[in-house]
Amino acid sequence: MDENPNNLFTKAIDEAQAEVDHLTRAQAEARAKLAALRQGVLATTQTAAISGADASITSSPPRTAAEKVRLFRERFRGREDVFPRRWQNARSGKSGYSPACANEWIRGVCGKPKTRCSQCSSQAFVPVDDSVVLAHLNGRHTIGVYPLLPDNTCWFVAADFDEISWRDDVLAFADTCRAMGLPVAIERSRSGNGAHAWFFFAEPVEACHARRMASLVLTETMSQRHELSMQSYDRLFPSQDTIPKGGDAIARLSRQAGSGERVIVATGRYVGEGFDDARLDTLFLTMPVSWKGTLIQYTGRLHRLHPAKREVRIYDYVDVLVPILARMFEKRLRGYRALGYVPGEAPLGFGEIDDDFVLGRDWAETDGYDEWP
């Protein structure tokens, strides 16, 4: 006997109401976290105004070298035990950042480029001090910061914009911040073709909350300015909520004997930067990413020499019906081409959507790991 239609409608109404109640609670929790984070941002200015020494620096531009170094270290705070330093290959023009190490390129000690810094037994990372920062301000070298602290907190969060529409996008982002009462500092990027939006906190904040706050501002900007695609938005710093636990995964894998086939299912954050298994030749990318550095890190797991390896292949899954996911996929495609990948035959059922879902790379065309910084 068929169920009474009225009962079906009542059940559907109850389910819809339960979903509304859940979303309402989630919204209330998000707004509470935003309020707490907003207080933390505002407290940065209030703390500086109350402290006599800090007030002298905040109320007027720093004049002496010591004042400039102090202000820099107060704002751009991260890990103190290590910092990244910019490098550039004079022959290829490639550039990037790697941990500053006292043993870097010392013959017989440094394992680069075959050994990653995170796996090197001769690590001698240089800590951050006033002389390091002063050299940066004087232009003798360019340093960065590792914002994620060991307890998964951070002193700031920043949004990176670096595409054609970056000017309009970052100005709209700043307008949203002002409307929400969030102090934000806008800085033009090193290349001149982008900008960073900085939020500074008076005390360390859980990175997951800081990133959610910045994501909320971005979402609010997109909802208020429908004419903007926000395509220039690239990523957030810190780029993750927690420090990867790659070491645990590597230790477990190393205990797995044998050379047969294996399938590893894990998130990028869990596996971590130091993960390495030369036998891997296939990657199923199911989480949307757009930053080239992350793409290089993920694809780099396949670029280890192994006697049985002839080809590496990536299966990239994307929902092309969601505009922001489609734009992120377009960025990945440019990254794949730059890394030497070419479109391959799409899996059954995907060929009608896009032939770029599968990308293959002939291992014989490269000289192995040394090609990948």
Q: What is the average per-residue pLDDT within 299-308?
A: 75
Question: What's the pLDDT score for residue 252?
Answer: 61
Least confident of 89-93, 161-165, 356-360: 356-360
Whether omega for the bond prior to residue 238 falls within 30 degrees of 0, making it cis, is yes
Give the length of the chain.
Answer: 373
Question: What's the pLDDT score for residue 119?
Answer: 75
Question: What's the pLDDT score for residue 248?
Answer: 53
Q: What is the average per-residue pLDDT within 102-113?
A: 87
Q: Specify the CATH number of the domain 35-55+147-243.
A: 3.90.920.20
pLDDT-derived band at 172, boundaries 50, 70, 90: very high
pLDDT at 319 over 90: no
CA dist., res. 305 & res. 143, Å (int)? 32
Whether omega for the bond prior to residue 113 falls within 30 degrees of 0, making it cis, is yes
CA dist., res. 205 & res. 222, Å (int)? 25
Q: State the DSSP string of 162-217.
A: -STTHHHHHHHHHHHHHHTT---EEEE-TTSS-EEEEEEEEEEEEHHHHHHHHHHH
Question: What's the pLDDT score for residue 54?
Answer: 36
SS3 247: helix
pLDDT-derived band at 53, boundaries 50, 70, 90: very low
Mean pLDDT of the chain: 76
Choose between 94 and 339: higher pLDDT.
94
Question: What's the pLDDT score for residue 40?
Answer: 57
pLDDT-derived band at 241, boundaries 50, 70, 90: confident
pLDDT at 371 over 60: no
Burial environment of residue 275 by CB neighbours within 10 A (0 to 12, 13 to 18, 19 or more): buried
pLDDT-derived band at 273, boundaries 50, 70, 90: low
Choose between 42 and 104: higher pLDDT.
104
Q: What is the average per-residue pLDDT within 344-366?
A: 41
Question: What's the pLDDT score for residue 255?
Answer: 57
Residue 234 neighbours by CB distance under 10 Å: 19
pLDDT at 210 over 90: yes
Cα distances from 217 to residues 44, 171, 331, in angstroms, run: 19, 12, 22
Question: What's the pLDDT score for residue 86?
Answer: 92
pLDDT at 80 over 90: yes
Choose between 145 and 250: higher pLDDT.
145
pLDDT-derived band at 128, boundaries 50, 70, 90: very high
Least confident of 95-109, 185-199, 338-352: 338-352
Q: What is the average per-residue pLDDT within 240-247?
A: 70
Residue ranges of the domains in the chain? 35-55+147-243, 80-144, 280-371
Least confident of 58-67, 179-188, 199-208, 293-302: 293-302
Show the beta-strand stretches assigned E in the chain: 84-88, 95-99, 153-161, 185-188, 195-206, 233-237, 282-285, 311-316, 342-343, 358-362
Say which residue the tokens 């992350």 belong to.
294
Question: What's the pLDDT score for residue 36?
Answer: 66
Question: What's the pLDDT score for residue 347?
Answer: 43
Q: Which of 69, 83, 191 is nearest to 131 (CA)?
A: 69
Q: What is the average per-residue pLDDT within 77-94?
A: 90
pLDDT (tens digit per residue) in 225-238: 777 667 788 888 99
pLDDT-derived band at 46, boundaries 50, 70, 90: very low
